[in-house]
């Protein structure tokens, strides 16, 4: 029988009596990963970062240049606008521009704007069940690593860094 830890935590996919890889922990893996919205947000912001600072671009042109669905990108750019990463222009040229220079926009801000405030609190092992109140067996170790490695990496990485990497 599958054991339940002392905390009562049972990962999704664990079936009573399951042995081996089928029906066990490996049957329905869940991971902390970024969604398509984050990829499209980065794509759109890279287009703006390649322009002179303050240049307004039509959403249609941003979407076409990266082959991103315009309607989906519009929803993403609403989030980026709300979080102060881009500004929308309603004048003669309707579109978007970066709100700050690429060197002043952190990757962490982008991902939090799109994925939500709890992005960096998610467990990479059993994200649908793991929390401080119901920790998985790896919870305390992941929490320490997450803060040191991922938090620091996202805090140090800027849109300018991503633009430089994309140009290589």
Task: Locate the domains of the chain by residue range.
Answer: 36-101, 107-167
- pTM for this prediction: 0.74
Q: Let me know: does 124 contact 142? Beta carbons within 8 Å.
A: yes
Q: Calculate the average pLDDT of the chain.
A: 80
Task: Indicate the helix (H) or strand (E) that contains 61.
Answer: helix 59-66
What digits encode the pLDDT tens for the residues 13-71?
333 333 333 333 333 433 456 789 999 999 999 999 999 999 999 999 999 999 999 99
What digits encode the pLDDT tens for the residues 60-111?
999 999 999 999 999 999 999 999 999 999 877 779 999 999 999 999 999 9
99 φψ region: left (φ > 0), alpha (ψ -120 to 50), beta (else): alpha
Beta strands in 46-129 (DSSP E): 86-90, 94-98
Domain 36-101 has CATH 3.90.1150.10: no
Q: Is 47 exposed, middle or buried (0-12, 13-18, 19+ CB in 10 A)?
A: buried
User: How many C-beta atoms surround the C-beta of residue 137 within 10 A?
Assistant: 15
């Amino acid at each position: 029988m599958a054991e339940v830890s002392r905390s009562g935590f049972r990962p999704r996919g664990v079936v009573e009596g399951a042995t081996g890889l089928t029906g066990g922990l490996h049957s329905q893996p869940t991971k902390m990963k970024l969604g398509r919205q984050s990829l499209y947000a980065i794509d759109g912001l890279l287009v703006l970062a390649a322009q002179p600072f303050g240049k307004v671009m039509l959403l249609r042109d941003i979407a076409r240049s990266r082959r991103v669905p315009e309607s989906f990108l519009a929803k993403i750019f609403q989030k980026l606008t709300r979080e102060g990463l881009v500004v929308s222009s309603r004048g003669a040229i309707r579109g978007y521009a970066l709100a700050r220079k690429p060197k002043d926009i952190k990757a962490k801000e982008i991902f939090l704007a799109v994925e939500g405030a709890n992005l960096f609190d998610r467990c990479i092992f059993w994200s649908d069940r793991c929390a401080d109140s119901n920790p998985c067996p790896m919870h305390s170790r992941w929490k320490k690593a997450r803060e040191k490695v991922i938090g620091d990496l996202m805090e140090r990485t800027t849109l300018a860094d991503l633009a430089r990497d994309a140009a290589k």
